[in-house]
Every structure is written in structure tokens, then in C-alpha cells.
Amino acid sequence: MSIQFNILTLFPDMFPGSLGQSLSGKALERRDWSYEAINIRDFAQGVHKNVDDTPYGGGAGMVMRADLIEKATLSIEKPGRKIYLSPRGTPLTQALVKELASTPALTLLCGRYEGVDQRVLDAQDFEEVSIGDYVLSGGEPAALILMDACIRLLPGVMGNETTPDEESFSNGLLEYPHYTRPDEWAAADGNVHKVPEILKSGDHAKIKAWREEEALKITKKRRPDLLK
Ligand code: SAM
């Protein structure tokens, strides 16, 4: 299973960015995933190749033009699911990531300025997805985050480095705490911190139960909304 990302952007050089490194970089070399960054400006005409214009109704900022985004979108052979990264979109959750990671192709539209003309979102059936309740200056970092979250779920990408079923959000909880050697660690303030005894017991059933309890505790404390 592999996934093709088609990225509609004014800044194609931002890709693959950090995804060209580490495990996602190796997966890219293996072609477990691939991408094409399509420069929306290439579809503009005239000396200035303008991609934006002033907003109807007035107000600050500029709006990306519908006609150019449509042309850029139609140039994609297999667009798959079309997503506009947007702060007003559906929140990107692990459940949505799992769904997206199992599709063969995704088209990711990265906005700039005040955003894009609503008409092309409607005409081309773009879904809107947000990476959180804050405003970025452009959709590219949001696209990279969405891509990262999908790529690491592709078979073979993470190797033995993770167990997706036990990670935060996979079962509706945050993850339990981790510890590694040494089992007694003296911090700079002189306090000695020990690894919980149960984790050294070798009793897998008890360790599992302890981890479940810790996951529940931390979720209740930090993200009670996940338990609703
Ligand atoms: N005027 C827009 C608003 O208030 O909703 C914000 C536009 S923002 C400055 C420019 C672009 O960054 C957006 O078109 C979108 O593609 C991207 N962006 C900003 N915040 C985002 C978020 N939380 N999730 C996904 N994309 C985001």
C-alpha cells in the first residue's frame, strides 16, 4: 500500500521538508509514499503572475483566486480525496488520519493570505481540515503535519519503533508514561528518581493493567474531553 500526495501550493520548495529525513525520508526513497508539489502560480498569466485579489465586501488582506486553483486541481491525474487545510475545518484527529492513510491519493490545498475563494472549494468539493485552534500563515506546515501523521501509519514505515495500537488516541486515551535505563536516576537537583517497580517485575499482565490505569489517570487529568 502506498500513498500519493498532490500538494497545491505557492511554495513548492517547502516539500518534502522534514519528511525527507529519518524514517519518512527512507519511506520516500522506497516509494512507500510519493508527492508532487504543484505551484499554483504556474497557472497564472501576465507579467506579474498574480494569484490573489482583493476581497469582495472589503477588509484586510488578499484572497487566492478560484480560477487558478481550479486549473491547478484539474491538472492532477488522480486527485483522490481533496482537502483544503483551513483553521475552520474539521479537526484532524487520529481517527481521521487512519482514514486518510488508507486512501491511495490525497490532494492538499495550502492557502495563503486570507484564504481562498469559497467558490472553488464548493465547485471542486474540497473538504476542510484543521490541525488545531490557531492560525498559521500558510497551509504548508499543516499539510506537512497531516502527511507525517499518515505516512507513519503506512505498513513498514515505522518498523519496530512503535505499536500504533497502544499510542495516544488509538483507544481514546493518552499514552501511559515510559521509562528506560538506568533504573535509578539522580537528577541535577540531587533527587533520585526510580522506575516504578511493577515495570521491572516481568509480570506482563500486571504491567498491562498498570499501563491502562496510568493511561486513564493521565487522560482524566489532561484531556477529560476524550473520555466523554
Ligand atoms: N483568514 C483565515 C481565517 O481566519 O480562518 C486564516 C488564513 S491563514 C492566515 C492562511 C492559510 O493558512 C489558510 O488559508 C490555511 O490554508 C492555512 N492555515 C492556517 N491555520 C491553519 C490551521 N489551524 N489548520 C490548517 N490550515 C491552516
10, 85, 107, 121, best to mutate for ligand 1 pocket (most atoms within 8 Å of CB): 85
Beta strand residue intervals within 92-210, DSSP E: 105-110, 127-130, 184-186, 192-194
Q: What is the distance in A from the centroid of ligand 1 to the CA of 77?
A: 26
Specify the pLDDT at position 212. 96
Q: What is the distance in A from the centroid of ligand 1 to the CA of 85?
A: 7
Residues 107 and 1: their CA atoms lie apart, in Å, by 17
Q: What is the distance in A from the centroid of ligand 1 to the CA of 47?
A: 28
How far are the Cα atoms of 44, 59, 62 from residue 170, in angstroms, in the given order? Answer: 43, 42, 40
C-alpha grid cell for residue 149?
A: 501523521
8-state DSSP, 164: G
Q: Which atom of ligand 1 is nearest to the CA of 130?
A: 24
pTM of full prediction above 0.85: yes
Specify the pLDDT at position 108. 99
Specify the pLDDT at position 4. 98
Question: N- to C-terminal Cα distance for the chain?
Answer: 34
Specify the pLDDT at position 33. 98
CATH number of 167-227: 1.10.1270.20
Q: Which atom of ligand 1 is nearest to the CA of 88?
A: 5
Mean pLDDT by 10 residues, the chain (228 residues): 97 98 98 98 96 97 98 98 98 98 98 98 98 98 98 92 79 96 98 98 98 98 96
Name which of 186, 180, 179, 177 is nearest 215 in CA terms.
177
Q: What is the distance in A from the centroid of ligand 1 to the CA of 64?
A: 12
Residues 103 and 118: their CA atoms lie apart, in Å, by 25
Specify the pLDDT at position 159. 84
- Does domain 3-151 bear CATH number 3.30.70.3170? no
Domain ranges of the chain: 3-151, 167-227
